[in-house]
Amino acid sequence: MVDKKCYHDPVDEALETLWTLEERGEKALEDRILSGNSRGILDKALLSRMIEENLLREENGIYSFTDQGRERGKGIIRRHRLAERLLTDVLNIKEDIRVESDACCFEHFLSPEVTDHICILLGHPRYCPHGNKIPPGKCCERAARQVETAVVSLRDLKPGESGRILYISTKQHSRLDRLTAMGLFPGSSIKVHQCEPLFVVFLDEIQIALDKGIVEEIYVLKS
């Protein structure tokens, strides 16, 4: 059940809806933006105000972001999807409705600094639990420059080599749930035992056999 005490900024809600429509390749028509939010806090007057504030532009009935609006929308989406990752990966909350509700609350009050700290904690994840892309932040760009030569797919490690999981690049929610249930999540230390015929790793003292398709989606920082 949605927490009614949580504040929802109508401008942010409109930007978030427009971002989602763009991701789906749908035209951002007025009725789609207004109907894309179930809380009933969006209206035509709000869209007109957002045009005046240089957040949106409208042409032939289709709305799009200005540069200023896109940057603000990117921040909202980034906070929301990182919050979803935090709730599912770290706090182990699995109920989709609760995760969505709490993430909506987080997106409105997380500062840029706290958002980056969450991103670093989670290993700069690329996708939310639903498989949607998380917009990268400056912390992701810095991390990429600093460790790009040391970050490899788990499949590239040889028997006896080890590393720390940085992120898991999969869009399959069920696969991610299975990996986290085994203890494989960002921050975990892992050591390769064998690569053939099965890919077998050690997670602490626990031996785990992994499908090669999954191994390709796990990225580690080599020790």
Q: What is the CATH number of the domain that holds 31?
A: 1.10.10.10
102 with 168, same domain? no
Last-in-domain residue among 103, 127, 147 = 147
Q: E strands of the chain, at which residues? A: 56-59, 62-65, 151-153, 162-168, 189-194, 199-203, 206-210, 218-222
Q: What pLDDT is stored for residue 59 in this prediction?
A: 94
Last-in-domain residue among 118, 147, 176 = 147
Q: What pLDDT is stored for residue 130 in this prediction?
A: 85
CA distance 3 to 173: 24
143 with 168, same domain? no
Contacts of 222 (CB under 8 A, 6+ apart): 150, 151, 152, 157, 161, 162, 163
47 with 73, same domain? yes
31 with 122, same domain? yes
DSSP state of 149: T
116 with 170, same domain? no
Number of structural domains in the chain:
2
Residue recorded with tokens 């182990």: 92
Range of the domain at 106: 1-147
Which tokens is 48 given? 């007109």
141 with 157, same domain? no
Residue recorded with tokens 């980056």: 116
Q: What pLDDT is stored for residue 54 in this prediction?
A: 97
Last-in-domain residue among 122, 147, 172 = 147
Q: What pLDDT is stored for residue 48 in this prediction?
A: 94
Q: For residue 204, what is the domain's CATH number?
A: 2.30.30.90
121 with 173, same domain? no
Q: What pLDDT is stored for residue 98 in this prediction?
A: 73
CA distance 126 to 170: 9
102 with 64, same domain? yes
76 with 178, same domain? no
CA distance 17 to 143: 30
CA distance 116 to 78: 10
In the chain (223 residues long), the average pLDDT of successive 10-residue segments reads 60 92 92 72 88 96 96 95 87 74 79 89 86 91 67 87 83 74 84 91 89 84 80
